[in-house]
């Protein structure tokens, strides 16, 4: 095993370990990493000596902060196609994780955002800790939640997923459990013990039982106390109406949410709301990933993704100049463009039942 590899693979007992290994970049995903994880899953599925797969992130800061945004920025500025090729394989991996036939255990410790959610929250045993910070932060960079994020957030109770998607706010362990993004809370100091115990498991049932044995009650989250105004405000049919409702509640947290939303890309906000509403009616993860591929490809050719990454990551002036600049200027036609069929460039996952890696 070359410890410089961006994805490390090894086996402990009957558990195949996949470690995302770019700690200086907070384990941000690139195309080679996606291909390596997909290959590892394919091998583990066929290996009868492997009972389960465990995915973790190297370093102490988190599992994965998302995709390699700088590369996407440079590709978009150059008018390239590497990013759309990357998303095609990344979304196929997301679908493969959801359909993986053996226990897929994700340790969602530390920062888990964007693409990090895609390689963890579609697994069937998802572990969070007191250090977990989970988010789909795309609207802040002029992008739209992807990697199956709109599928996950659309399925969250009430309008919690809409709140998370539009504000791009990160949540901790308690709220991740409430929103259906995680299954178990394990204190971070017990992760080493848990990993060692999993190595001794010979069956899928043993894997689940072991995780439950190390699990504990999660710290209280914040969202449950705000469910009333979240569900009421975010039920509105447009982003403008959502913001108006938030502003008029008289609740400080709701007013703060409104201000946060208004700092995001107006186009991304409207497309995100539409994507979430549509996702609820699409049924399968594969169909939602097909939709997300359309919205991602459209965002890639628009102005806000490049501008958002410039403001947040490149220049770090935190002052993006969105185009259009206001919600009122974003037309229905602007939004519809993001959902237009791609012809022979469609991802096409929904047409392939039981899609795996």
CA dist., res. 332 & res. 113, Å (int): 29
The residue behind tokens 């394989």 is 89
The residue behind tokens 């996702």 is 279
CA dist., res. 95 & res. 286, Å (int): 6
56 CB contacts (<8 Å, ≥6 apart)? 17, 18, 19, 20, 63, 107, 109
For the record, the structure tokens of 334 come out as 């602007």
Give the residue ranges of DSSP H helices in the chain: 31-46, 69-78, 82-99, 115-118, 149-154, 160-167, 173-178, 191-198, 204-214, 227-233, 239-248, 252-262, 266-282, 285-300, 303-309, 332-336
Give catalytic status of residue 115 as yes or no.
Answer: yes
CA dist., res. 216 & res. 205, Å (int): 19
Nearest to 107 by CA among 97, 98, 116, 99: 116
215 CB contacts (<8 Å, ≥6 apart)? 127, 184, 185, 186
Give catalytic status of residue 169 as yes or no.
Answer: no
User: CB of 264 within 8 A of CB of 139?
Assistant: yes
Residues listed for the chain: 357
Q: Which of 66, 115, 172, 308 is catalytic?
A: 115
User: CB of 29 within 8 A of CB of 67?
Assistant: yes
Q: Count of H helices and E strands in the chain? A: 16, 9
Maximum separation of any 2 CA atoms in the chain, in Å:
59
Give catalytic status of residue 180 as yes or no.
Answer: no
CA dist., res. 203 & res. 190, Å (int): 21
CA dist., res. 230 & res. 178, Å (int): 14
Q: Which of 90, 138, 292, 307 is catalytic?
A: 138
Q: Which of 68, 109, 146, 183 is catalytic?
A: 146
CA dist., res. 300 & res. 79, Å (int): 9
Give catalytic status of residue 138 as yes or no.
Answer: yes
Residue numbers annotated as active site:
67, 115, 138, 146
């Amino acid at each position: 095993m070359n410890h410089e590899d961006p994805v490390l693979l090894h086996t402990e007992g009957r558990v195949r370990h996949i470690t995302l290994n770019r700690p200086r970049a907070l384990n941000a995903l690139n195309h080679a990493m996606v291909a390596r994880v997909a290959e590892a899953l394919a091998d583990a599925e066929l290996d009868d000596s492997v009972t389960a797969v465990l995915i973790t992130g190297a370093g102490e800061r988190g599992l994965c902060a998302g995709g390699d945004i700088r590369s996407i920025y440079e590709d978009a500025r150059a008018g390239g196609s590497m990013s759309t090729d990357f998303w095609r394989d990344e979304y196929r991996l997301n679908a493969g994780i959801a359909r993986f036939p053996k226990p897929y255990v994700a340790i969602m410790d530390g920062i888990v955002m964007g693409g990090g959610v895609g390689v963890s929250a579609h697994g069937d045993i998802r572990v969070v800790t007191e250090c977990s910070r989970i988010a789909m932060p795309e609207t802040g960079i002029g992008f739209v939640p992807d990697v199956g994020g709109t599928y996950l957030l659309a399925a969250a109770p009430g309008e919690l997923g809409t709140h998370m998607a539009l504000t791009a706010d990160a949540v901790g362990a308690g709220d991740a459990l409430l929103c259906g993004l995680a299954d178990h809370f394990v204190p971070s100091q017990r992760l080493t013990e848990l990993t060692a115990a999993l190595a001794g498991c010979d069956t899928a049932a043993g894997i689940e039982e072991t995780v439950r044995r190390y699990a504990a009650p999660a710290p209280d989250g914040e969202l449950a106390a705000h469910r009333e105004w979240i569900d009421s405000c975010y039920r509105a049919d447009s982003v403008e109406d959502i913001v108006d409702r938030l502003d008029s509640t008289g609740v400080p947290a709701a007013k703060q949410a409104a201000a946060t939303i208004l700092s995001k890309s107006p186009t991304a906000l409207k497309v995100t709301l539409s994507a979430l509403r549509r996702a609820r009616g699409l049924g399968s993860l594969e169909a939602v990933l097909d939709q997300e591929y359309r919205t991602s490809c459209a965002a890639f050719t628009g102005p806000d993704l490049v501008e958002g990454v410039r403001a947040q990551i490149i220049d770090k002036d935190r002052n993006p100049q969105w185009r259009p600049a206001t919600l009122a200027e974003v037309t229905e036609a602007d939004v519809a463009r993001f959902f237009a069929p791609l012809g022979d460039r469609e991802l096409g996952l929904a047409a392939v039942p039981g899609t795996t890696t």
